[in-house]
Structure 1
Amino acid sequence: MKLLRLAFALLASVLAAAPASAWWEWGHETIAGIAMHEVRPGTRAAIRQLLRHAPELATPTCKLRTIEDASVWPDCIKQLGERFSYAYSWHYQNIDICKPFDIKTPCRDGNCVSAQIDRNRKLLADKSLPARERLMALAFLVHFVGDLHQPMHAGDHGDLGGNRVKADYGIAQGRINLHSIWDGYLAERAISTPPAGVAGLISEIAPAGRAAEAAGSTEDWSRENWQIAHDVAYGGLYGGDPCLPAPEAKPVLSNAAIEAAIPVVRKQVERGGVRLARLLDEALG
C-alpha cells in the first residue's frame, strides 16, 4: 500500500507539472472520434479534404492530419506565443455556480467558448472562405465542443474553473486541483471504464436517443454543464452545498464521489461527440 501511495503521488506530480489542456488529450480525441463515426459520409469526406490543407496553417509542431489532431490543435498552438494569443479566452466561460445562470456577461464580445462554437461553425460552413480559414474553424469547433462538455469550463466559483481549488484525488496527492481532476484523472478513468474508448462509448448511445442527445443550442449545453459543475464537480468535492464557505483543510475527492462522477463524465463525452457530429453535418453535410 505504501508503494501504491508513492506511485500515485509521483504520477500526480508529473501530470500536474505538464501544460494544462482541457480534457487532456484523451477526452478531446474521444469526443472527436465519436463525432467522426457519427457524421454522414459526405461530411466525413469534407473533413478529410480540409485536413489536406494543414501545411497552409504553418504550424509544423502542431500536427493536423486527423480529426483527433484537430481536437487538440487549439491547445498545442498555445505554445506558439503571441501568434494565437487572441484565442486564449475562447476555451472557457466562467459562470458562477452560486449565482443565477448568466451567459451574457462572460460572453460579451464573443470571448467565451459557447460563442466561439457558434462563430466557428458559421466560418466552417462558409464555402467562400479559403480552405485554410475553414480548416482553422474546423479545429477550433472540434476542440471547443470538447471544452464546453468539460463542466469546469462551463462553471466556476471565482476560482478560474477550479484551478485555484487544491484537492486530492482519492489517495493521489500532489499539485492537483479540482480543474485538473476533471480535465484528466476523471476523464481517463471514465473513458477507460469498460466498455472503453470510442467504440465503447458509442455502444452506450441508444439509437433512438441520438437525436435528442444532439439537440439543443450552445446556451442549453452551457446551462447543462454549469449545473453539473455545481452538483457534481463542486458538490462532490465538498460533500454538500458547494456554495458554503470552503473548508480550511484541503478537500479530498473520495472514492465514492469518484465512482458517482464516472457515469456523468462518460455521458458528457458521449453528448459532446454526437452534438459535434450534428454541428459538422450542418456545416459540411
Structure 2
Amino acid sequence: MLLGMVSRLHTLPRRAVLCAALLLPCLTTPAHAWGPQGHKLVAMVAMEHLTPTAKKNIKFLLGKETLADVASWPDVYRPLETQTGPWHYVDIPEGAGTYDRERDCPTQPNVKAGSPGDKWRDCVVDRILFFEGRIGDATLDPADRAIALKYLVHFVGDIHQPLHTTGVQKGGNGITVNVFGSDTCGKYPCNLHSVWDSGLILHRQLNDKQYLALLDHEFASTPPAATPDDPATWANEGNALLPGLMLPQGGVVDQAYFDREIPVVDRQLEVAGLRLAAVLNRTFTSAPVTFKPAAADSKQF
C-alpha cells in the first residue's frame, strides 16, 4: 500500500508536486535533514564521480531530472506518509558509541522482531540497504526503481549529518541556540539541528555551483576515502563527531563556532557524495534493461 502511494505521488503533475512542496513548511517542524542545498551538494559531488554506465542508468530512471533535482524529494513526501519519518535517521543513545540494530532500528508497524516479516526496519541504516537493493532490481517497474533512487540519494546524505545519528534531544531539535545574535530562525526558535541542516551552509553565502567548486578545491589534494561502504559504520562515524559539535541549551553559534565546525560540514558533504557515487557505480554495472516483471513481485516496504 505504501509503495503504491509513493508511486502515485511520483506520477503527479508538476503543479501538484509543487503544491506539496509549498505546503511543507506548514505541515512540518523546521528541521529534517541537510537542507535543500546540502542535499543538492551531496548529489552534485556524486555526479562528478559516476561511471558512464551509472549515468546511463540514472538517466533511464530519472529522465530529464538529475540526482541534484531529486535529492530533497523525500522531504516533500515525508509529511504525506508519516511512516517514512524514521527512515531519515537513527537514534543511537547517548554514550552508546556504536550502532546496535536490535536496539536502535525499530521494527515496522505491527511487525514483531525476529518474525519472517522483520527483514527491513525503520531507520536510515536499513533503508539505505533496502533502497540500494531496489534500484538494481531490473524485475521492478522503472517507476518504483526511480523512487528508490530518490530515497537512496537523500538517505546517504541524511546519515552523514551527524545529528541524524543520535536520539539526544531529538537529534538536537530540542536544543535551542542563539545563531549569530538571533534566537529565531525564520518563524521558529533556532535549534542545533537546524544549524547543522542549513544554518552553517547558508552562512557561507555561496550558490550551489560556487559551493561545489569550493569542495572540489578543498579536497583536490586529499580527498576523503569513500570506504567503508557499510551504512552502520557511517552512522558510527557521524555519532563520533557529536562531542565536538554539541552545545548546551541556550548555547551560542557564532563565528568561532562556524570556523571550527564548517570544515566538518564540508567533509561530511564531500564524503557522502563520494560514497553515494560508489554505491551507484557498483549497482549500475550494465546498460539499462527493458522492464521484465518477475512472476511474483513482493512490494513490501
Assess same fold via TM > 0.5: yes
Give CA deviations for 1:90-144 in whole Å, capped at 9, x if unaligned: 0011112323423311214311111111110011111111101110110000000
Q: 2:217 aligns with which of 203, 211, 220?
A: 203
Residue 163 in 1 paired to residue 173 in 2?
yes
Q: What is the identity, as a one-letter code, of the residue corresponding to 1:223?
A: N
Residue 233 in 1 paired to residue 231 in 2?
no
- Matched residues in 2 for 1:203 and 1:121: separation? 30
- Matched residues in 2 for 1:41 and 1:73: separation? 24
- Matched residues in 2 for 1:283 and 1:119: separation? 13
Residue 141 in 1 paired to residue 139 in 2?
no
Displacement after TM superposition at 1:185 (Å): 0.5
Aligned positions, number: 242
Q: 1:124 aligns with which of 110, 121, 135?
A: 135
Residue 185 in 1 paired to residue 199 in 2?
yes
Query: Contact conserved, 1:149 with 1:272, CA < 8 A, in 2?
Result: yes
- Matched residues in 1 for 2:240 and 2:126: separation? 19
Displacement after TM superposition at 1:202 (Å): 2.4
Q: 1:263 to 1:208 in 2, by over 3 A?
A: closer
- Matched residues in 2 for 1:224 and 1:191: separation? 28
CA RMSD of aligned residues (A): 2.6
Tell me the equivalent position of 1:51.
Answer: 62
Show structure 1 runs of 5+ residues with no match: 1-13, 53-63, 239-245
- Matched residues in 2 for 1:129 and 1:261: separation? 42
Q: What is the identity, as a one-letter code, of the residue corresponding to 1:221?
A: W
Query: Contact conserved, 2:30 with 2:194, CA < 8 A, in 1?
Result: no
- Matched residues in 1 for 2:139 and 2:183: separation? 52
Q: 1:117 to 1:194 in 2, by over 3 A?
A: closer
Q: What is the identity, as a one-letter code, of the residue corresponding to 2:105?
A: C
- Matched residues in 2 for 1:191 and 1:143: separation? 23
Displacement after TM superposition at 1:71 (Å): 0.6
Runs of 4 or more, structure 1, over 6 Å off, are none
Q: What is the identity, as a one-letter code, of the residue corresponding to 1:284?
A: F
Q: Secondary structure of 2:176's partner?
A: coil
Q: 1:208 to 1:101 in 2, by over 3 A?
A: closer
Q: 1:207 to 1:116 in 2, by over 3 A?
A: farther
| TM alignment of 1:1-285, pairs within 5 A | 19-52=30-63, 65-79=65-79, 81=80, 84-104=81-101, 105-109=103-107, 110-157=121-168, 159-174=169-184, 175-189=189-203, 192=206, 196-206=210-220, 209=223, 212-228=225-241, 230-234=242-246, 237-238=247-248, 250-285=250-285
Q: 1:28 to 1:99 in 2, by over 3 A?
A: same
Q: 1:204 to 1:41 in 2, by over 3 A?
A: farther
Query: Contact conserved, 1:148 with 1:225, CA < 8 A, in 2?
Result: yes
- Matched residues in 2 for 1:97 and 1:232: separation? 14
Q: What is the identity, as a one-letter code, of the residue corresponding to 1:123?
A: R
Displacement after TM superposition at 1:209 (Å): 4.5
Q: 1:191 to 1:251 in 2, by over 3 A?
A: same
Q: Secondary structure of 1:213's partner?
A: coil
Q: 1:88 to 1:259 in 2, by over 3 A?
A: same
Q: Secondary structure of 1:171's partner?
A: coil
- Matched residues in 2 for 1:262 and 1:196: separation? 16
Displacement after TM superposition at 1:85 (Å): 2.7
- Matched residues in 2 for 1:139 and 1:191: separation? 27
Displacement after TM superposition at 1:191 (Å): 8.0
Show structure 2 runs of 5+ residues with no match: 1-24, 108-120, 286-301
Q: What is the identity, as a one-letter code, of the residue corresponding to 2:142?
A: A
- Matched residues in 1 for 2:178 and 2:192: separation? 8
Query: Contact conserved, 1:163 with 1:178, CA < 8 A, in 2?
Result: yes
Q: 1:271 to 1:191 in 2, by over 3 A?
A: farther
Q: 1:194 to 1:282 in 2, by over 3 A?
A: closer
TM-score, length basis structure 1: 0.77
Which moved further from structure 2: 160-169 or 251-260?
Answer: 251-260
TM-score, length basis structure 2: 0.73
